[in-house]
Structure 1
Amino acid sequence: MNAATPRLIHIDDMADPVVTPELAAWREGPDDFPCPMTADEVLARAMAETGLDDFGEDTGFRTRLGVILDALYEDEGLTRGGRVFVLQQAVRAMANRLRVEDLIRRHPEILDVPVEKPIFIAGLPRSGTTHLVNWLSRDDRLDSLTLWESEEPVAGPPLPPGETDPRMARSAAYWGAFGALVPHMTAMHEMAANDIHEDNELLFMDMNCYNWEFSCRLPRWTAHYLAHDRTASYAYERKVLQAIAWQRGRKNGVRWLLKSPQHMENLAAIKAVFPDATMVITHRDPVDVLRSLTTMLGYSDRTRRDPVDPPGLARLWTGRIEKLLRECVAQRDAFGPEQSIDVAFHEYMADQEGMARRIYRLAGLDLPPETEARLLGYLSENPRHAQGKVVYDLEGVFGVDIAALRERFAFYYERFPVKQEN
């Protein structure tokens, strides 16, 4: 079987998952982790784990943490294990913040590390951003974040030569266990510790990352997040990028290649904090995005929800995608044509090499033969649907009216030349 005829994957228990003993245990979560927890208890646990107590300037993260937890406990369909996961993420994020602040206190020169002309990739979930950032990261003139490094950006004590970083080992162990529960995830969005990942993980440390919404249903949190300016949180991300570059020995700075769907709704904040950034925005038919996204989230919901409620998930994410797109339309002019490009998904799929050249010209980068060979190597090593192609059923399983959905997204189709896929 070749890439032209991928293996078709039918997930026939989406609405009523088969619950194995391993899945049941995951839904319950570890007995030794407290649940529920207050915001003060999350902060105290982070301090106990690190032995540190200085979180730096309060940019509003404490308030946001409280809102996240309030919203978390309002999600009635979430299992105990689902709540524990979010609490663990919150503790990890606050521990990371403590470590970042401690590192900068001991090495204030970190704040002198330049962050110049970063390249940001924004776009809807499932619109090709992960493929694009992993592809362009083959250019060794650009620095990106691996999944494991984004999860724990401050290194521990120096390691002996050849020894694996324990941060990488922890990430690989967690995502390996998760992948064993939902093996079809590799065909949709593999979470591999060494792959290039989203920089919005760094926004976790300011409690302003929309990734919370992938793990549970948090309308209270989403409303709070969208009602407040996010510029200070991107300024905190910039500080973390400086710390990572300094740890890599890049004291004169690096050119970052960064990506996240969340950037679509934060274009003005990014322009304020990174005024010389290049912004690459991918655009895909939101109906097709929802086909893919609801299937991916609906499939993984079996690890954290009981019942899973696919129609409720589709309603939630239809509204969330609309909010994201309306923010993108409203803020698109924050970046002018001399610093930004809109990449239509169908054009990108038809001519990936040509699109790369357009992005490179915009970013002021040449494309020497050795770099182009590395980029082409990624394409040949990672054909589309190599792990199989999931069959989606947005209408049947998720109960969505496609015609009504297209009417709802008319404002987006009118603003960007998006091809309606099916």
Structure 2
Amino acid sequence: MAEAISIDDLLEPRLSDIQANLLAFGDANPLALTEQAVLDAARARTGLRDFGSDDFRERLNLLLDEWNGDPAMTHLWRMTLFGYATRYAANRLLIHDTLQRHPEIHDEVIDRPIVIAGLPRSGTTHLVNLIAADTRLQSLPLWESYEPVPLPSEAMLPGGIDPRYQRCADAWAQSQRSSPLIAAMHPMNPDHIHEELELMGPDFASYNFEWIGRVPRWRDHYYATDQTPHYAYMKTVLKLLQWQRGRRSGGQHGRQRWVLKCPQHLEQLPVLKATFPDATVAITHRDPVAVIQSAVTMQAYSSRMQRTEVDAPWLIAYWADRVEHLLRGCMADRGVWPEAQSIDVPFHEFMADDIAMVARIMDKAQMPLTDRARGEIAAHMEAHPRGKEGRLIYNLKRDFGVDPDTLRARFQFYFDAFPVKAERA
């Protein structure tokens, strides 16, 4: 039985010595979040200078303006965001350089991917990790999503460990020291299968930036902008990864189909269809109240290191709106994916028998589970049991002053349209 975890200082954090020392270190080392600082750091990191198309600068500067305009952000989190922006800019340099030297990458074919869409906190992570255990498929581990292209002249570490993997492992270890309960909410170890929206980061695109900072003007820009070019950029980076893997394996690995997942796809289903027209799409469906309480609890817990205050009303208002926007997008555009290429995945059915649901999805993708695949998935589940890091206890009423049934009424349109079950304690 997984250990039950109840956070009794969610809104008024009691900081550990490690947390207090880290925040003090940030306060003692303020830095400038400017375009020049970010791009200069990326150039120094890679030894490269050509970023390709300059259109990303508008989006980068919008993000920087949002971050700089947030007076409650801790200096420690400003340092973290500077690291995010620098890594993305460095990746952009490396990606552009590789494409310039190897234009044949554009000829790679991303063949019939299996794509998982659904609300955040709705089982998409568990689902993609189960399917990715099937070695007939290729997937995107966190460490490779963070740094798709190796740094020039960087050698492997002793034991053949990729330095990119080690950096990711070190970052996860530090994250667990500073926020020890985060592993029970959303594990981010290097081998964890991640979202391909990370590959839009070097284009300074995707809704991911909403998760790491308060960026309402960024969100509005995202809403108002056709995301097709950013999905095309992401697909190009997938081709690059496939090409790299093919070179390492003599071409064999690069021919495998992909399994991908990203909640953002829920409100971008037509763009997803234009990008991967031959995909099979699995769409998870879960009680939006359960999703919101999970998301805002995680955000509130993270706030102790990111912000000088925990603003519960803002979190509820923002993420309730955000979840509704995702669901309205799904409602409007679900029909662009025909029955032959898509399947709905009710959360309660998936949790009741996850292997049976995986089998249904793989049948839909015309890739039925083999005995070997079932064994690989079973081995993954044994190594990663549910609740391995503990089971978080959520209480929307106690922590956020919101009655779950009152909030649930806002989403009746969704319950009417899809086989979703209310999750009541």
TM-score over 0.5 for the pair:
yes
Summarize the alignment of residues 4-403 of structure 1 with structure 2, pairs less than 5 Å apart.
Answer: 6-27=2-23, 30=26, 35-58=31-54, 60-156=55-151, 157=153, 159=156, 162-249=159-246, 251=251, 253-403=255-405
User: % of aligned pairs identical?
Assistant: 46
**Structure 1 residues 155-214: Cα deviation after superposition (integer angstroms, max 9, x where no partner):** 244537832111111111111111112212222211111211111110111111222111
CA distance in 2, matches of 1:162, 1:19: 38
The answer as to whether partners of 2:137 and 2:258 remain within 8 angstroms in 1 is yes
**Structure 1 residues 105-159: Cα deviation after superposition (integer angstroms, max 9, x where no partner):** 1111111111111111111111111111111111111111111110000024453
Using the size of structure 2 for normalisation, the TM-score is 0.93
**Residue 46 (structure 1) shift:** 1.4
CA distance in 1, matches of 2:24, 2:49: 31
The answer as to whether partners of 1:78 and 1:304 remain within 8 angstroms in 2 is yes
The answer as to whether partners of 1:115 and 1:242 remain within 8 angstroms in 2 is yes
CA distance in 2, matches of 1:194, 1:65: 29
CA distance in 2, matches of 1:322, 1:242: 33
Choose between structure 1 and 2: higher helix proportion. 2
**Residue 380 (structure 1) shift:** 3.1
CA distance in 2, matches of 1:70, 1:414: 40
Matched position secondary structure for 1:386: coil
CA distance in 2, matches of 1:161, 1:402: 52
CA distance in 2, matches of 1:63, 1:333: 34
The answer as to whether partners of 1:230 and 1:269 remain within 8 angstroms in 2 is yes
Letter of the 1:49 counterpart: R
More deviation in 372-381 or 261-270? Answer: 372-381
Matched position secondary structure for 2:130: helix
CA distance in 2, matches of 1:322, 1:74: 26
Alignment coverage as a number of residue pairs: 417
Q: Which of residues 403, 407, 410 is equivalent to 2:409?
A: 407
Letter of the 1:68 counterpart: L
Relative to structure 1, the CA distance from residue 28 to residue 257 in structure 2 (aligned partners, 3 Å threshold; closer, same or farther) is farther
More deviation in 235-244 or 391-400? Answer: 391-400
Unaligned runs of 5+ residues in structure 2 are none
The answer as to whether partners of 2:176 and 2:182 remain within 8 angstroms in 1 is yes
Letter of the 1:44 counterpart: D
**Residue 381 (structure 1) shift:** 3.0
The answer as to whether partners of 2:26 and 2:74 remain within 8 angstroms in 1 is no
Unaligned runs of 5+ residues in structure 1 are none
Matched position secondary structure for 1:154: coil
Relative to structure 1, the CA distance from residue 28 to residue 254 in structure 2 (aligned partners, 3 Å threshold; closer, same or farther) is farther
CA distance in 2, matches of 1:70, 1:330: 32
More deviation in 206-215 or 342-351? Answer: 206-215
Relative to structure 1, the CA distance from residue 149 to residue 40 in structure 2 (aligned partners, 3 Å threshold; closer, same or farther) is same
**Residue 417 (structure 1) shift:** 1.2
Using the size of structure 1 for normalisation, the TM-score is 0.94
**Structure 1 residues 257-315: Cα deviation after superposition (integer angstroms, max 9, x where no partner):** 11111121221111111111111111110101112111112111111111122232222
Letter of the 1:404 counterpart: T
More deviation in 17-26 or 204-213? Answer: 17-26
